[in-house]
Amino acid sequence: MRFSTQTLLLQLGVVLLVVLLSGAVHAWLVYGRIGDEAENQALTLARTVAADPDIRTGVQEISKEEGTPPADVLAVGPLQAAAEAVRARTGALFVVITDETGLRLAHPDLARLGERVSTDPSVALAGKEITTRNTGTLGPSAGAKVPVYSPDAAGTIVGEVSVGYSVESLSNSLARDIVPIAFTAGGALLAGVLASFLLRHRLQRLTLGLEPEEISTLVHDQVAVLQGVDDGVIGIAADGRISVFNAAASRLLDLPDATGQDWATAGVPEQLKQLTQPAARDAEPVELVAGGRVLVASARKAWHRKEDLGWVVMLRDRTELQQLTRQLDAVGTMSTALRAQRHEFANQLHTIAGFMSIGQHDSAKEYLARISATGPLKFPVEQAELLQDAYLQAFIGAKGVEASERGVSLRVGPETMVRGHVADPQDVTTVLGNLIDNAVSAAVAGSAADRWVEVELLDDAGRLHLVVGDSGDGLGAADPEDIFTEGFTTSAQPVRSGAGQGLGLALVRQLARRRGGDVRVLEHGSEGGPGAVFMATIPGVMDEGPTSSTEREDRSG
């Protein structure tokens, strides 16, 4: 028999046993509760009857007489009438009244009047109340016996009252209550059977129909495979030791093999440790910057049956995706700007064609001279002519179009001097694009009426120096170093896990430092503007242009 079939049969047996036991115990408890309620109800009714002044007086009068009145006299007497009225009103099986010797003075069966009761009345006649479950002349019942005291002599017992409810009525009550119990048990059994079949199907699907011995062999084989995958895998045992730290994890985190170290004191980023906290069992994947890379980390709790195996942390590299996304954003922005330029050029050509068609040649010449003086590009960026590199012109011009749509004026600072050519557009796009985007967002959120962003660029021996300022409200109470940590964002919206927010400044600083440069805050900014000023230095991203020795001397000066 296959392992999955054995598991299915075992589960079905356990589910059936649990449902039957639970149903039986619940039915037994319900029956006991109904019986207790019947006894308490009988006791309350017996106390009420025994405390009735007419009942006490009637019993005392009969007890004082010598002998007991005949049954036909008792049948038409006030005690019989009162007891039957109570029994009919409450639905009790019997309401019996006796004298101090236990002889019946009132009973549902008139033929039993004057006879001794079938159950022992001595406890009640001794002055104690008692609840009982026994079988009398009317059948099994749950009842109570209460003494009847003389209305004249305090403490003198002149008889007792017995009240009982039929066990058959208790069974009927149980039958009414057992219906939802049966439905619940049936539903639980059905759910258990269905879950067992689903679990069997899932077990077969997850194990691909393999037996435990085959799975054990595969586990041993896969240990070697873990060292060859591109994703980082970190295994944390139940005792907190790192049991798996594959080569990819070491490469992505830029750390040596940490196998055997304590997870709490290992040199891994704190974000990874937070993922393995008990409160983060169902936490979503998080993004972090480590070793100059953007990583997506997720953690899962590992169990084998009921055995806690610890945690498994997976690391995936998203650095290239982040850089590609930034490049695509830049290309999209420039494409939008160029599309607008194409429309503008088309309009200019139509204007020239109109002048020529009506013979206004002089006007056409003047118009051509005027548009020639403005240059081939007309981005909404002040002093864009200070940029000699075509890539920087296009990129900052496109950013100017994007900023203008948000009501922000983008300008190039007067100290800008870029005579070389961008040799590494990818890193320049990442750093400059992040700083400009953050500055535009700060300007939009700021309280200043005049919204602007100013960029100054200077190249020197292959280095590109960037200074970006804005009209926003500054960094407020934030520490200048805290804004370069993962999770900090200039967005007014909360950071959503996996959305890529809160990583820009941390990434650009690590990127610049990996090249030997840096990104830092020059000015903290103030409320009402001007806002914060950031400076970035990126070595090795520029090629020197064909400038003369005089120009190089001027630039050095």
The pLDDT tens digits of the residues spanning 276-332 come to 887 666 667 777 777 667 787 888 888 766 777 788 888 887 766 655 666 666 666
As a whole number of angstroms, the distance between CA 91 and CA 10 comes to: 49
Place of tokens 């019993």: 59
Higher pLDDT, 166 or 466: 466
Distances 265 to 276, 283, 309, 465 between C-alpha atoms, Å: 13, 22, 20, 39
Q: Percentage helix, strand, coil, to 5, in the chain?
A: 50, 20, 30
Beta pairing class for 286-290 and 293-304: antiparallel
- Length of the chain (residues): 557
3-class SS at 276? coil
Decide if pLDDT at 4 tops 70.
no
Neighbours of 150 (CB within 10 A): 18
Neighbours of 404 (CB within 10 A): 15
User: What are φ and ψ of residue 541, in 5° steps?
Assistant: -110, 0
As a whole number of angstroms, the distance between CA 536 and CA 512 comes to: 8
As a whole number of angstroms, the distance between CA 277 and CA 414 comes to: 52
Distances 476 to 215, 446, 472, 473 between C-alpha atoms, Å: 58, 11, 10, 7
As a whole number of angstroms, the distance between CA 195 and CA 193 comes to: 5
Decide if pLDDT at 149 tops 50.
yes
What's the start-to-end Cα distance of the chain, in Å? Answer: 89
Pick from 20-29, 59-68, 136-145, 442-451 the range whose average pLDDT is largest.
442-451
Type of residue numbered 344: E
Task: Say what the pLDDT of residue 462 is.
Answer: 85
49: Cα separation from own chain's centroid: 61
The residues that bridge with 130 in the sheet, in sequence order, are 145
Task: Say what the pLDDT of residue 469 is.
Answer: 92
Percent of the chain with pLDDT over 70: 80
As a whole number of angstroms, the distance between CA 100 and CA 351 comes to: 129
CA angle 218/222/226 to nearest 5° reads 170
Tens digits of per-residue pLDDT, 81-137?
A: 998 898 888 888 889 998 888 888 898 888 888 888 888 888 888 889 888 887 777
The residues that bridge with 464 in the sheet, in sequence order, are 459, 538
Pick from 1-15, 17-31, 525-539 the range whose average pLDDT is largest.
525-539
Higher pLDDT, 134 or 70: 70
What token pair was written down for 296? 């997506």
What mean pLDDT comes out for the span 353-375?
73
Place of tokens 């950031």: 534
Decide if pLDDT at 546 tops 60.
no
As a whole number of angstroms, the distance between CA 532 and CA 123 comes to: 94
What mean pLDDT comes out for the span 9-38?
78
Q: Which residues contact 193 (CB under 8 A, 6 or more apart)?
A: 12, 15
- DSSP code of residue 423: S
Burial class (CB within 10 angstroms; exposed 0-12, middle 13-18, buried 19+) of 107: buried
What is the Cβ-side half-sphere exposure of residue 527, based on CA atoms within 13 angstroms? Answer: 2
User: What are φ and ψ of residue 239, in 5° steps?
Assistant: -85, 5
Tens digits of per-residue pLDDT, 446-499?
A: 888 889 999 999 988 888 999 999 998 888 777 778 788 766 665 554 444 444
CA angle 348/354/357 to nearest 5° reads 145
As a whole number of angstroms, the distance between CA 45 and CA 50 comes to: 9
Is 464 in contact with 544 (CB distance < 8 Å)? no
Neighbours of 433 (CB within 10 A): 20
- DSSP code of residue 136: E
As a whole number of angstroms, the distance between CA 313 and CA 433 comes to: 32
What mean pLDDT comes out for the span 528-538?
88
Type of residue numbered 414: P
> pTM of the prediction?
0.43
What is the torsion angle, in degrees rounded to the nearest 10, for the CA atoms of residue 111, residue 116, residue 118 and residue 121?
140
Decide if pLDDT at 139 tops 60.
yes
Type of residue numbered 415: E
As a whole number of angstroms, the distance between CA 110 and CA 102 comes to: 16
Count Cβ neighbours within 10 Å for each residue of 67-87 and write b for 16 or more, e otherwise: ebeebeebbebebbebbbebb
What mean pLDDT comes out for the span 258-281?
81
Q: Before 530, cis peptide (omega within 30)?
A: yes
Distances 471 to 131, 132, 271, 399, 467 between C-alpha atoms, Å: 88, 90, 34, 16, 14
The residues that bridge with 244 in the sheet, in sequence order, are 235
What mean pLDDT comes out for the span 40-63?
87
Burial class (CB within 10 angstroms; exposed 0-12, middle 13-18, buried 19+) of 418: buried
Tens digits of per-residue pLDDT, 168-209?
A: 666 666 666 677 777 777 777 788 778 878 877 777 777 766
As a whole number of angstroms, the distance between CA 354 and CA 347 comes to: 10
Count Cβ neighbours within 10 Å for each residue of 486-507 and write b for 16 or more, e otherwise: bebbbeeeebeeeebbbbbbbb
